[in-house]
Amino acid sequence: MRDMLGREDAISVEEAQKRIAEHLIAKEPFLTALPIEESYKRVLAEDISSPEDLPSFSRSTVDGFAVLSSDTFGATEGLPAYLNVTNEISMGEEPQFTLKKGEAAKIPTGGMLPQGSDAVVMLEHAQCADDGLMEVFKPVAPGENVISAGEDVRKGERILTRGHMLRPQDVAALAGIGITEVRVYEKPRVSIISTGDEIVPAKSGLRPGQVRDVNSYNLAGLITEHGGLPVKKGILKDVFDGIQDAVKESLDTCQMVIITGGSSVGILDMTSKVIDSLGSPGVIFHGVTLKPGKPTIGGVVNGVPVFGLPGHPAAVTVCFDLFIKPLLRMLTGVKEKEHLKKKRAMTARIAKNVSSSPGREEHVRVVLESRGDEVWAVPVLGKSGLIRTLVMADGTVVIPAQVRGLQEGDTVEVLLF
Amino acid sequence: MRDMLGREDAISVEEAQKRIAEHLIAKEPFLTALPIEESYKRVLAEDISSPEDLPSFSRSTVDGFAVLSSDTFGATEGLPAYLNVTNEISMGEEPQFTLKKGEAAKIPTGGMLPQGSDAVVMLEHAQCADDGLMEVFKPVAPGENVISAGEDVRKGERILTRGHMLRPQDVAALAGIGITEVRVYEKPRVSIISTGDEIVPAKSGLRPGQVRDVNSYNLAGLITEHGGLPVKKGILKDVFDGIQDAVKESLDTCQMVIITGGSSVGILDMTSKVIDSLGSPGVIFHGVTLKPGKPTIGGVVNGVPVFGLPGHPAAVTVCFDLFIKPLLRMLTGVKEKEHLKKKRAMTARIAKNVSSSPGREEHVRVVLESRGDEVWAVPVLGKSGLIRTLVMADGTVVIPAQVRGLQEGDTVEVLLF
């Protein structure tokens, strides 16, 4: 269906997301090798199996005495086991003796167990006499207070898998097994093309009628935060050929293209035509039942997603969250558990009635406020063209399309920025 | 009170946190100036007031016709208002005319309102005839479909405050008001000193009895994630003078010092003595009723926090979360709302009984699993000396000191890594 201006009716957020997913051609991201020091938050491009046992030897987990566990069986406070302390083990060194029945060797936490021993008696459960004789008050089981060779990671065992985003402890594990370089996926490059005859760079003074480019800064931050590499293509005049050239060049070098510009019909039509001119299927939706963000254009050109975002800052943020972020995460190559994908959110009570048109998903910016023990979400009023509403807000509350609005005091989930 | 080995009894996590807070001397972090492109996630060291009105002129928020609102009062579909379309406004340009009563000018979204006009009629609510005459079917109020000059940000208005961590939209706002460089706080430098006669660098081969340094990699990642700058001081032998020198040097150049090492009594005593030797008050606790992490040492030397962490990887992560992270956030200069400080967490049901000694706070590593509509948290078994338990886990469940344990099926909060 088309409206009185000849435009297709806006489609739902879900339908828009579905269409993008259908037309995308998932490509394997590029690889690069990095020293592990630089691999934090990067996505592994290979499975990692351990080249060796970790630890490579049996270690004590306590301060105490390496023993043969069978020597301590049945020991009690009243009837201790007696052992000869024949040696002391130093950290980082291999004991140059074999422990025999009836013997014990002093060992520090982390020390290597001598041949013959299979457990460690804690310092607190033993008492030394003068003549090298020791009383043990508590039996130990085989392996007690010991991490045995390969107990942490076995040689050949797969410890990390392709698609995993490396956390601090994962990098630590790589260091532990002696892997100091890993292959990771390159960050997906996302082209940001700012358009508009009225837009000037942030450093420019303004003539009447001009405004500075804000959206490329918002987008660059959001893209970086979610694992992408923003590629700013500068500010272009609203001229078909210039925009077409910039998108064409971006399609060759980037994995996603975002055109931000005005929301005027003329500009939107030009953006649509540029997308359609460059490959198939071109524009796949133009207009979403969403506020803010209605005039969003979604397209795919030969498998690469291309978006035309309305110029309103709040709309840019909402569209990023709904359409761009999920694609960007996918392009990073990361494989996440469903429940770990969730955005940081908190429950609050809405502090004002908020009306919402049915059939349109509304994203309301809110400020969090403590009131007694409760957290309240105060809607930030103001047009979506204002950057200030985004700066004031701590997060957003989503009113689904089928809901008419919110009543003061309703419990809501706030998605935090 | 002291135990049989002459050590002070372990204190509670809360008491340990309280003692650190009491002895810290909060210093103003250092400042540095950065281009806004590099200021994402950095903490503002100055209040930002706008040097000008944003926008600097009244802009249309829709495609339509700039009018005098009074010319449209009372207009309906049946009885439209008639206006002469005398001009068309171009994006980015100042209209060179004044709109008079009875006149209208075509204006795109984002266009500058001409002198004399105070509202914009949407394209959809008007119809043009051939002769430049236009019918308006719906009245507009003064200011309707317009963002007036200074409506977003007024000249002189404070838009961001010292201590705010810059988000993408904040950087966008800075660009919008023409501020391209900001003063931010330097990241707090955190010294990481790895100690242990058995510890060798990640790139080394291993002789029997040796293990590779993993904790400095875990800590470097955690410090970076929370806004600090890790400064690795290398791996030191367990020799008093060497460790003392490294800590002394760190105290001169860093805002926090972390010594990681073994958990043997000898090493812990040496770490304590080093901390005590360098200034007042020195060690403020030695041992916490916490698992893993009991042998943690906390100290403050002339206002700078110095920690001695046990060598077990899981203990390092827990101690970072409880003791180091809150201090590090404070040292960054960030001022956060209480409810935004919360870690990313989710509710789940615990999949196994977990026993816990009363009087000791336990941090249990868990893997998340979907079972039907529910998320279950499966405890990862294994000694805290294993790095693998941390790699397998998605987060931790905290069992408070006064709780005896968890029953299978209990609802728990999982703090996500």
Q: Could you read off the pLDDT of B96-108 as tens digits, one per residue?
A: 999 999 999 999 9
Residues of chain B in contact with residue A346, where contact means CB-CB under 8 angstroms, are: 339, 342
Same structural domain for residues B333 and B219? yes
Closest-CA distance of chain B to residue A302, Å: 30
**Total domain count, chain A:** 4
Q: Best interface-test mutation with B: which of A174, A391, A396, A417 has the largest number of B CBs within 10 A?
A: A391
Pairing mode, strands A374-379 and A361-371: antiparallel
Provide the pLDDT for residue B202.
97
Q: Is the pLDDT of residue B3 over 70?
A: no
Question: In this structure, what CATH number is given to the domain that contains residue A378?
Answer: 2.40.340.10
- B176, B54 in Cβ contact below 8 A? yes
| Inside any domain, residue B82 | yes
Provide, as residue numbers in chain B, all residues whose Cβ is less than 8 Å from the Cβ of A212: 175-178
Q: Which residues of B touch A266 (CB under 8 A)?
A: 63, 108
For B168: left if phi > 0, alpha if psi spans -120 to 50, otherwise beta; the answer is alpha
| Reported confidence tier of residue A382, pLDDT bands at 50, 70, 90 | confident
Find chain A residues with C-beta within 8 A of B390's C-beta: 169, 172-173
Predicted pLDDT at B212: 97
Kindly report, residue by residue over B378-405, the tens digit of the pLDDT: 999 888 889 999 999 999 999 999 999 9
Whether residue B90 lies inside any domain: the answer is: yes
Segment 186-215 of chain A within 8 Å of chain B by CB:
196-199, 202-215
Over residues A146-167, the mean pLDDT reads 97
Instruction: Confirm whether A90 is domain-assigned.
Output: yes
Average pLDDT on A68-87 reads: 96
In chain A, which among 117-136 make CB contacts under 8 A with chain B? 123-124
Give the sign of the dihedral formed by CA B101, CA B105, CA B108, CA B113: negative
pLDDT over threshold 70, residue A156: yes
Q: What is the 3-state secondary structure (H, E, C) of chain B?
A: CECCCCCECCECHHHHHHHHHHHCCCCCCCEEEEEHHHCCCCEECCCEECCCCECCCCEECCCEEEECHHHHCCCCCCCCEEEEEEEECCCCCCCCCECCCCEEEEECCCCECCECCCEEEEHHHEEECCCCEEEECCCCCCCCCEECCCCCECCCCEEECCCCECCHHHHHHHHHCCCCEEEEECCCEEEEEEECCCEECCCCCCCCCCEECCHHHHHHHHHHHCCCEEEEEEEECCCHHHHHHHHHHHHHHCCEEEEECCCCHHHHHHHHHHHHHHCCEEEEEECECEECCCCCEEEEECCEEEEEECCCHHHHHHHHHHHHHHHHHHHHCCCCCHHHCCCCEEEEEECCCEECCCCCEEEEEEEEEEECCEEEEEECCCCCCCCHHHHHCCEEEEECCCCCEECCCCEEEEEEC
Q: Note whether residue B1 is domain-resident.
A: no
B4 pLDDT above the threshold of 50: no
Using 50, 70 and 90 to split pLDDT, how confident is the model at A186? very high
Query: In sequence order, which residues have a C-beta less than 8 Å from that of residue B30 and are 6 or more positions away?
Result: B185, B186
Residues A75 and A46 placed together within one structural domain of the fold? no
User: How far is CA A366 from each of CA A377, A380, A414, B84, B167, rounded to the nearest angstrom?
Assistant: 6, 5, 8, 42, 15
What residue of B is the nearest CA neighbor of A210?
B92
Cβ-contact A91, A36 below 8 angstroms: no
Across A170-179, A331-340, A396-405, B290-299, least confident range: A331-340
- Any B CB within 8 A of A137 CB: no
pLDDT tens readout for residues B21-45? 999 887 888 999 999 999 999 999 9
What's the CATH number where A133 sits?
2.170.190.11
Please, are residues A343 and A241 in contact by the beta-carbon 8 Å criterion?
Answer: no
The answer to whether B5 contacts chain A (CB < 8 Å) is yes
A5 in a structural domain: no
Confidence category of residue B367, pLDDT binned at 50, 70, 90: very high
**Which one of B291, B317, B338 terminates a domain?**
B338
Contact B108 A54 (CB under 8 A): no
Position B6 confidence tier, pLDDT thresholds 50, 70, 90? low
Domain final residue pick, A185, A205, A234: A185
Is the domain of A241 the same as that of A305? yes
Give the minimum alpha-carbon distance from A257 to chain B in angstroms, rounded to a whole number: 18
B156-171 pLDDT, tens per residue? 999 999 999 999 999 9
Determine, for residues B209 and A112 on separate chains, whether the beta-carbon distance falls below 8 Å. yes
Whether A236 and A350 map to the same domain: the answer is: no
The answer, yes or no, to whether residue A1 has pLDDT greater than 50, is no
**Residue B260: which CATH number?**
3.40.980.10
Mean pLDDT score, B266-287: 94
Average pLDDT, chain A: 94
Q: Which of A162, A185, A208 is the last residue of a domain?
A: A185
* Beta-carbon separation of A206 and B178 below 8 A: yes
Res. A31: pLDDT tops 80:
yes
Query: Considering the domain boundaries, does residue A3 fall inside one?
Result: no
pLDDT value for A214: 97
Question: Among all chains, which residue has been given the structure tokens 């435009």?
Answer: A7
Q: Which of B172, B197, B208 sits opposite A214 (nearest CB)?
A: B172
Check whether residue A400 and residue A330 sit in a common domain.
no
pLDDT, residue B2, reads 52
Contact B153 A313 (CB under 8 A): no
**Residues B332, B353 within the same domain:** no
Please name the member of A37, A212, A391 whose beta carbon is closest to the beta carbon of B169. A391
How many contacts, defined by CB atoms under 8 Å, are there between A and B?
A: 309
User: CA nearest A368: which of A360, A378, A359, A358?
Assistant: A378
Q: Which residue of A has its CA nearest to B313?
A: A169
Task: List the single residue in A with minimal CA-CA distance to B223.
Answer: A168
Q: Which residue has the higher pLDDT, B31 or A337?
A: B31
Same domain, residue pair A221 and A315: yes
Contacts of B135 (CB under 8 A, 6+ apart): B80, B81, B82, B126, B127, B129
Q: What is the spatial distance between Cα A247 and Cα A52, in angstroms, rounded to a whole number?
A: 49
| A110-134 average pLDDT score | 93
Residues of B in Cβ contact (< 8 Å) with A170: 391
B180-227 residue pLDDT tens: 999 999 999 999 999 999 999 999 999 999 999 999 999 999 999 999
A314 and A203 housed in the same domain:
yes
Summarize pLDDT for A240-298 with one digit per residue, the tens. 999 999 999 999 999 999 999 877 888 888 999 999 999 999 999 999 999 999 999 99
- How large is the average pLDDT for residues B57-65? 95
Q: Considering only alpha carbons, which residue of chain B is nearest residue A113? A: B209
Average pLDDT estimate for A46-75: 97
Report the SS3 class of residue A87: strand
Same domain, B268 and B327: yes
Q: Residue A247 in 3-state DSSP?
A: helix
β-strands B103-107, B64-67 pairing: antiparallel
Instruction: Determine which of B44, B59, B237, B391 to mutate to test the interface with A (most A C-beta atoms within 10 Å).
Output: B391
CB-nearest to B386 from A147, A179, A375 is A147
- pLDDT (mean) for A25-50: 95
A2 has a pLDDT exceeding 70: no
- In this structure, is the dihedral angle defined by the CA atoms of residues B132, B135, B139 and B145, taken in order, positive or negative? negative
**Cβ contacts (< 8 Å) between B262 and chain A: which residues?**
91, 108-110
Cβ of B219 within 8 Å of Cβ of A152? The answer is no
Does B245 contact chain A (CB < 8 Å)? no
pLDDT score of B263 more than 80: no
pLDDT the model gives residue A129: 79
One DSSP character per residue, A282-338 reads EEEEE-BSEES-TT-EEEEETTEEEEEE-S-HHHHHHHIIIIIHHHHHHHHT----G
Shared-domain flag, residues B317 and B221 = yes
Q: Which has the closest alpha carbon to A291: A149, A155, A413, A399?
A: A399
CA–CA min distance B222, chain A (Å): 6
Q: What is the pLDDT of residue B1?
A: 45
Kindly report the pTM of this predicted structure.
0.95
Instruction: Tell whether the model's pLDDT for residue A4 goes beyond 80.
Output: no
Q: Which domain holds residue A264?
A: 13-29+188-338
Please check whether residues A45 and A167 belong to one and the same domain. yes
Q: Are both B283 and B159 inside the same structural domain?
A: no
Contact across the interface for A176 and B209, Cβ inside 8 Å: no
Is there a domain that residue A94 lies in?
A: yes
Are A180 and B203 within 8 A, CB to CB? yes
In Å, how far is A249's CA from the nearest CA of chain B?
Answer: 23
Q: A178 and B416 in contact by Cβ < 8 A?
A: no
On whether residue B3 sits in a domain, the answer given is no
